[in-house]
Chain A
């Protein structure tokens, strides 16, 4: 039986690059060893999540597609606080358009 994820990142209804921004933010706040579950429905996640895991140094445990078409990715954080600590704000530096 697999362990329940410490964090669930719900990126349903969002499009690239938002899902990767969201899991990156969660990863920055996570401790090494934590497992983050990503929920997404943008098909680009099939490319983006493995690429982000590779570039960030975290481990992609699985990425599967549920009945209904949504994706569930599970990532083990091996480098918590990647990038030198959490951002000061929840979404800082991500979007300023209005």
Chain B
């Protein structure tokens, strides 16, 4: 592969992260729940990872619940907080640009007698504090806010939105999805006034099957998976130690190296964006500033996104069509419709995500392959001018 620009879907492990996880697929096979000596190092690793993740987001380590990736954490946050706070009410509010897992969990709750209000966004995917506050009520039990939008990369001003939500619906819990940002941008639970916060592996440089929900003390959370004491009873079943150790090590590295990584990714993303936008009839989706670092989504007019992604793959360039999360089915991404785009832009998006390990050569390779692919696909299109 000449250029790998699909890091939001999966990212190669930093050797230091791999080193942290390997003992737990080798000699350290014990259960952290065991009383005998085989459980000692796994138990220590579990608690070390809990502390590392808590420190990354400025939280109490007691609040860290490890999950099998960010999607599970999103489900746990929505369903668990809604159930735990049903005394407040059954009304919930979510932005129109939440991750599909969050929206699905909200819709499931709405099907089961909750009432869902969706907050629209502007043309760059931003939620307005006034629009949010207008939808809160005394019986609002939950507000779901995505920090960094996974498709178009928009970063929300969560502290301002949380302040607006607290003022309008004082009983509501606030679930912040930092699954795409924690590790890439500074994320502080207290500053965000979050009752629960989603953390995901790829943004940290950990596997996609590693994640966590970090919960503020007293937030009132029901588990999705019941039947054990693990993770404080909020996520029963044996802990996935390799994933957890990787997430913890990656969190510590991200905390130490975030500034340097951000500077490198900003330069690479600017180079990539400029190169893609040099192709005629290509638009950047989401804002030019205030994006998730290393996150570039563009739509190429008169070219179908999935076809373009395949054409790029044939040239050795790995990207996702539309988004890393809803990469199949030929449907318009709901987020693109939410920001007011219409066909052909809604069907012609590809997502390119880079990391601090990406090289300038990869970026240049991707830009060249993009220009060639778009030109050749437009030449075959009966719709292209």
Which residues of A pack against B, CB within 8 Å? 7-8, 10-15, 18-19, 21-22, 37, 39, 66-68, 70, 88-98
Residue of B nearest to A29 (CB): B62
B358–chain A nearest beta-carbon distance, Å: 37
**Contact: A89 with B226, CB < 8 Å?**
no
Among candidates A8, A37, A88, A91, residue contacting B230 with C-beta atoms closer than 8 Å? A91
**Contact: B220 with A92, CB < 8 Å?**
no
**Contact: B238 with A7, CB < 8 Å?**
no
1/0 contact trace for B196-233 toward A, CB 8 Å?
A: 00000000000000000001011111110010111111
**Contact: B84 with A94, CB < 8 Å?**
no
1/0 contact trace for B33-59 toward A, CB 8 Å?
A: 111000110111011001000000000
**Contact: B218 with A13, CB < 8 Å?**
no
Among candidates B35, B221, B236, residue contacting A10 with C-beta atoms closer than 8 Å? B221
Residue of B nearest to A19 (CB): B233
**Contact: B237 with A98, CB < 8 Å?**
yes
Q: How far is the CA of A96 from the CA of B215 in the complex (A)?
A: 24
**Contact: B222 with A95, CB < 8 Å?**
no
Interface CB pairs A-B, < 8 A, 30: A10-B84, A10-B218, A10-B220, A10-B221, A12-B83, A12-B220, A13-B80, A13-B84, A13-B222, A13-B233, A14-B223, A14-B233, A15-B226, A21-B233, A22-B229, A22-B232, A39-B218, A68-B87, A88-B40, A89-B33, A89-B42, A90-B46, A90-B50, A92-B33, A92-B43, A94-B33, A94-B228, A95-B33, A95-B229, A96-B31
In the complex, chain A residues whose CB is within 8 Å of the CB of B39: 89, 92
In the complex, chain B residues whose CB is within 8 Å of the CB of A14: 223, 226, 233
Residue of A nearest to B60 (CB): A7
**Contact: A13 with B223, CB < 8 Å?**
yes
**Contact: A10 with B33, CB < 8 Å?**
no
B283 at the interface (CB under 8 A from A): no
Q: What would 4 more interface pairs be, CB under 8 Å, given A68-B87, A91-B33, A96-B33?
A: A7-B217, A13-B223, A22-B229, A92-B32
Known: A89-B47, A93-B35, A98-B238. A10 touches B219 (CB 8 A): yes
Q: How far is the CA of A92 from the CA of B31 in the complex (A)?
A: 9
Among candidates B32, B50, B222, B233, residue contacting A18 with C-beta atoms closer than 8 Å? B233
Q: How far is the CA of A98 from the CA of B215 in the complex (A)?
A: 24
Q: How far is the CA of A21 from the CA of B83 in the complex (A)?
A: 22
Q: How far is the CA of A13 from the CA of B86 in the complex (A)?
A: 12
**Contact: B217 with A97, CB < 8 Å?**
no
Residue of A nearest to B223 (CB): A13
Which 9 A-B residue pairs are closest in the complex by CB-CB distance? A89-B43, A13-B222, A68-B87, A14-B233, A8-B218, A94-B229, A93-B35, A98-B238, A18-B233
Q: How far is the CA of A22 from the CA of B232 in the complex (A)?
A: 7
**Contact: B44 with A89, CB < 8 Å?**
yes
Q: How far is the CA of A79 from the CA of B324 in the complex (A)?
A: 52
B79–chain A nearest beta-carbon distance, Å: 10
Q: How far is the CA of A98 from the CA of B108 in the complex (A)?
A: 28
Residue of A nearest to B40 (CB): A88
In the complex, chain B residues whose CB is within 8 Å of the CB of A18: 228-229, 233
